[in-house]
A and B are shown apart, each in its own frame.
Chain A
Amino acid sequence: MQLFQAPEGSTVTILNVSGEEHNRRHLECLGISKGEKIQIVDSHGGAVIVKVKGYRLALDKDICACISVHPEIKGGTCNV
């Protein structure tokens, strides 16, 4: 699923980041990269606030659509 579909309060693992290279690279520096676990702090109307690497990052709807995530399975790791 896309990042904006992830339920509020859940922790998800990033599967893939697509979109323009310029933006992808910027996201990578900020810690949004494949395999990273992030927590959805706030999500409504498509825009999302996530907790990544211990800080808060706000993302708009379009960029959220470029980030596909997988819900964290409790008590185990998910292999993708």
Chain B
Amino acid sequence: MSDDKKYIFALAGNPNCGKTTLFNSLTGATAYVGNWPGVTVEKRAGTYKSKDIGTADIVDLPGIYSLSPYTPEEIVSRNFILDEHPDCVIDVVDATNLERNMYLTTQILEMDVPVIVALNMMDALRKNGQDVDCKKLSEKLHVPVIPVSALKFENLDNLMKAAIETAKTKRTGTSVLLDGKNNEVILKAKSIYIKDWVPNPLYHAIKDLEGDDIERKHHPFEFKQVSALVKSNNDFEQESSDERYQFIDNEVGPCIIGSPITDPNKPSTTDKADKILTSRIWGIPIFILVLLLIFHLTFSEDLLFLNAMGAFGSEGLVSFKGTPFEGLFANGGIASIGVFFSNLINDLTGWFTEWLRSIITINWVKGLVCDGICSGVFAVFGFLPQILVLFAFFSLLEDSGYMARVAFILDRIFRRFGLNGRAFIPMILGFGCSVPAMMNTRTLSTQKERTQTIRVIPFFPCSAKLTMITAVAGALCNAFNFANVDLITGFIYIFGMFVAIFATIAMHITTQREELPPFIMELPNYHRPQLHSLSLHIWDKAKGFIKKAFTVILLSTLMVWLFSHITWKWQFLNDDTQLSSSILASLGMFFQPLFTPLGFGYQISKDTGWVFVVSSFMALIAKENAVSTFATFAASLGFSNVSSTVAVGYMISETGIGIGGLMAFIVFNVLTIPCVAALATAKAELPKGQLKWTVLFWVVTSYLLGSMTYLVFTWTWTLAIFIPLLVGFILFLYFYNRNNTKKEKEKNLKVLKEGTV
């Protein structure tokens, strides 16, 4: 039987206990699931529908260890349950770790809200020869307990049935603490809240007695009265936590049936893997090797360097010379999957454009469609396989549980320099996209740390910047016979990370000075990646990219083509050699001198040199625009149906830009203001008034380092100036830090002394 009411159910529980997996299974959504604590930083809603059972809105909340939040994303969960009054809270509990998970349960039960416990991962527990007596547990907790497996869709309908039944009832909060020695004081505190008609009196009473900071702010009046009930420096908080854990040991513990098959005292697979992966000696080299391997498998045109080692003759393993597939094995080596499919797409889109060109007869339409839209959009499109391959590798890292270890091993090294390892997780997410990465900074516990991390996230090149880096690097290698693509791409990625780490340390020492928050992080068990969720995730990324290519990027290329073919007098430029009198050209030329220190200003040809400036500006809308802009210009100048690398190569020979200028162009665009989407996220996540400083920081950093790159690559001897400057700067930071630390210590001592007097 179904009823018409639409219920709202909230999923609450510890981090990494499977809330999002349950959410996906219930609603058919494809929200991202990872194997580390803190994947979900925002609440999200979906709908569960079943003809027989009913309809419900399911809200997935960020994971919390307790209802006294430690980080901002945890506050979201607390506030939702308290303020939005869900019809039922589904407390998701990891059955394989009842001991810790139940701690939160004992707190949720204190609220006046219907609660149902979903014992998740029951399949894993049963596989280990154990089970939970749900009936007994339900009697102890006074709420329904339903065993489920979110991953295997087991028992989910029963869970929803029970949740809807529970939602129809009313429930007043109960607490295990009421059986303890603080019984009286809790009831007294509760009566203060009842008197003031505050909902959830029991919950507030206990949190006040624990001295919770948020309570102090939200209910100052009652908080004062409650505080008066107890002596200062009492042990309520410690006692309450002990009593909660005692309840779990004594009452919940016996509900577990059977003993585990695997000996808990013997090292598990995870323990064994951790011995190597988090080892002091091997931890870092393995991490670097993993990164290099990922980049090599994604970008290499000569997989495993077989060609470079001379495994193939100059003709290559398979020769497609003279066929349209020539590009696939152009270098004679084996292309990585990413490069292979990129080449395939470039060939196919090239054909398609050529075909369009042959059927369109009107000249300006031909220009608009083939040069403007196709060249620009397809240039970006060719990178889809590489982006997806890179994305898949990073998803694998997240899904396996390795990510939390990476944070730990990096923390061990960088902590002494003032960098918290926890901050590396949002930074590494930045390789995918800056937007979710910036949002993930909510898992960091202090504002200053969030600010400095948000500022350096763009330095981790996102998948959109990848298009620009590989296209320009590829063209550079071809044009000057200099290095190779993976080398330059790898160098830029490492350079970006290096700048990010250095900038974070510098900020921590100077403007964002504070005591470093501690590194406290759960290390989940390793598990095999869930192929189903991985493929869904990759598909989502592909959809997002295609959508972006045909909306933002298409519009941008259209704009570029149009304004590069129209003069200020609204005349259409039919002759492509006159592009330099267009609106876009004059705007580009106006700003071009600014970029002289970066090697793409005055130095390069007046006729077309402004292209690099225009493309940098267009990249502010979306970073892929850098490449599409080049492709559109190259096509307009008669170089159409080529891959983006060849298009950039054409612009290089047209403008006469050098290696230095090109490297500076990459460095500048990687480090400068990110795209508008990331900018908006930064504005939302940063404290008020910090955005302008952050933008200034991006502009100055990218301009300075871009100039340095140009100078060093053009005149190597300038290193003799820059290295001492860098050393000087590091020394300055060192002494500045030492001085301030000394002062702070003296101040602390003074405070301590005065305090005792």
Chain A contacts to B: CB under 8 angstroms: 21-23, 25-31, 33-36, 41-42, 44-47, 49, 53-63
Pick the most buried of A22, A26, A34, A35: most chain B CB atoms within 10 A of its CB: A26
Are B421's CB and A60's CB within 8 A?
Answer: yes
Q: Please, which residues of chain B bring their CB within 8 A of the CB of A47?
A: 408, 411-412, 415, 519
| Residues in A neighbouring B270, C-beta threshold 8 A | 56
Q: Are A26 and B523 in contact (CB under 8 A)?
A: no
Task: Contact check, B520 vs A30: say whether CB atoms are below 8 A apart.
Answer: yes
Determine if B320 is an interface residue (Cβ-Cβ < 8 Å).
no
Please state if B415 and A42 are interface contacts (CB–CB under 8 Å): no
Residues B518 and A28 in contact, CB atoms below 8 Å apart: no
Which stretch (B273-281, B363-371, B467-475) binds chain A?
B273-281
B66 touches A56 (CB 8 A): no
Q: Which of B100-156 contact A (CB under 8 A)?
A: 100, 103-104
| Stretch of B238-246, B287-295, B545-553, B601-609 with 4 or more beta carbons under 8 angstroms from chain A | B238-246
B516 at the interface (CB under 8 A from A): yes
Q: Which of B65, B404, B519, B525 is the one whose CB lies under 8 Å from A30?
A: B65
How many angstroms from the CA of A55 to the CA of B97 in the assembled complex?
A: 7
B129 to chain A, nearest CB (A): 15
Could you mark each residue 1-17 of chain B with 1 if its beta carbon is under 8 Å from any beta carbon of chain A, else 0? 00000000000000000
- Residues from chain B with a CB closer than 8 A to the CB of A49 are 274, 278, 408, 523
Binary flags per residue of B732-749, CB closer than 8 Å to A gives 1, else 0 = 000000000000000000
Per DSSP, chain A at the interface is: mixed
Apart from A22-B213, A58-B523, 9 more pairs, CB < 8 Å: A21-B211, A23-B520, A31-B245, A33-B242, A42-B278, A53-B99, A56-B270, A58-B408, A62-B518
**CB–CB A45/B237 < 8 A:** no
* B-chain residues with CB within 8 Å of residue A36 when the two chains form the complex: 245
User: Which of B68, B213, B245, B518 contacts A63, CB < 8 Å?
Assistant: B518
Contact between chains at A23 and B518 (CB < 8 Å): yes
User: What is the number of residues of chain B that contact chain A, defined by CB distance less than 8 Å?
Assistant: 39
Q: Does B157 contact A (CB under 8 A)?
A: no
Known pairs A49-B274, A63-B520; A29 contacts B66 (CB<8 A):
yes
Q: Which 9 pairs, one residue from A and one from B, show the smallest C-beta to C-beta distance?
A: A60-B519, A29-B66, A63-B518, A56-B523, A53-B99, A53-B100, A29-B65, A58-B408, A26-B70
- Residue of B213, B280, B520 near A57 (CB, 8 A) is B520
Cα of A32 to Cα of B271 in the assembled complex, Å = 20
Our pick among B104, B271, B421, B525 for the contact of A41 (Cβ within 8 Å) is B271
Cβ–Cβ contact B520 & A29, under 8 A: no
B700 at the interface (CB under 8 A from A): no
B144 smallest CB distance to A (angstroms): 24
Q: Does B751 sit at the interface, judged by CB under 8 A?
A: no
Q: Within the complex, what minimum Cβ distance (angstroms) separates B614 from chain A?
A: 47
- Chain B residues numbered 472-520 whose CB sits less than 8 Å from any CB in chain A: 516-520
A-B contact pairs, 29 of them (CB 8 A): A22-B70, A23-B520, A25-B68, A26-B65, A26-B70, A26-B520, A28-B241, A29-B104, A30-B520, A31-B99, A31-B100, A33-B245, A41-B274, A42-B274, A45-B412, A47-B411, A47-B412, A49-B274, A54-B264, A57-B521, A58-B404, A58-B523, A60-B411, A60-B415, A60-B519, A60-B520, A61-B415, A62-B415, A62-B516
- Complex CA distance for A45 and B421, rounded to whole angstroms: 15
Task: Say whether A54 contacts B97, CB under 8 Å.
Answer: yes
| Cα of A25 to Cα of B518 in the assembled complex, Å | 13
Using Cβ atoms and an 8 Å threshold, which residues of chain A touch B211?
Answer: 21
Q: Given A33-B242, A47-B411 in contact, is the A59-B271 Cβ separation under 8 Å?
A: no
Q: Mark B195-221, 1 if CB is under 8 A from A, else 0.
A: 000000000000000010100000000
Q: Which residue of A lies closest to B415 (CB)?
A: A60
Contact B70 A28 (CB under 8 A): no
B354 within 8 A of A: no
Please give the distance in Å from B739's CB to the nearest CB on chain A.
21
Determine the residue in chain A with the shortest Cβ distance to B519: A60
- Contact between chains at B100 and A55 (CB < 8 Å): yes
For residue B184, CB closer than 8 A to chain A, the reply is no
Check B522 for interface membership: any CB of A closer than 8 A: yes
Asked if A44 and B242 make an inter-chain contact with CB atoms under 8 angstroms apart, the answer reads no
Contact for A34 among B99, B238, B519, B520, CB less than 8 A: B238
* B105 CB, min distance to chain A CBs, angstroms: 12
A33 & B518 in contact (Cβ 8 Å cutoff): no
A55 CB contacts on chain B under 8 angstroms? 97, 100, 522
A49 to B283, CA, bound (A): 14
Question: Are A58 and B521 in touch, CB under 8 angstroms?
Answer: yes
Which residues of B lie under 8 Å from residue A53 when comparing CB positions? 97, 99-100
Contact residues in B for A26 (Cβ distance below 8 Å): 65, 70, 520
Q: Which of B238, B517, B522 contacts A28 (CB 8 A)?
A: B238
Given contacts A29-B68, A30-B100, A54-B99, contact A44 B520 (CB under 8 A): no
Alpha-carbon gap, A16 to B335, bound state (A): 58
Report Cα–Cα, A62/B518, bound state, in Å: 7
**Residue on A nearest B213 in the bound complex, by CB:** A22
Nearest chain B residue, comparing its CB with the CB of A59: B520
Closest to B408 in A: A58
Binary flags per residue of B381-424, CB closer than 8 Å to A gives 1, else 0:
00000000000000000000000100010011001000001000
Rounded to whole angstroms, the CA-CA distance of A36 and B241 in the bound complex is: 12
Residues of B within 8 A of A54 (CB): 97, 99-100, 264
- A53 to B96 Cα, complex, angstroms: 11
**A58 and B65 contact, Cβ closer than 8 Å, known pairs A26-B70, A28-B237, A33-B245:** no
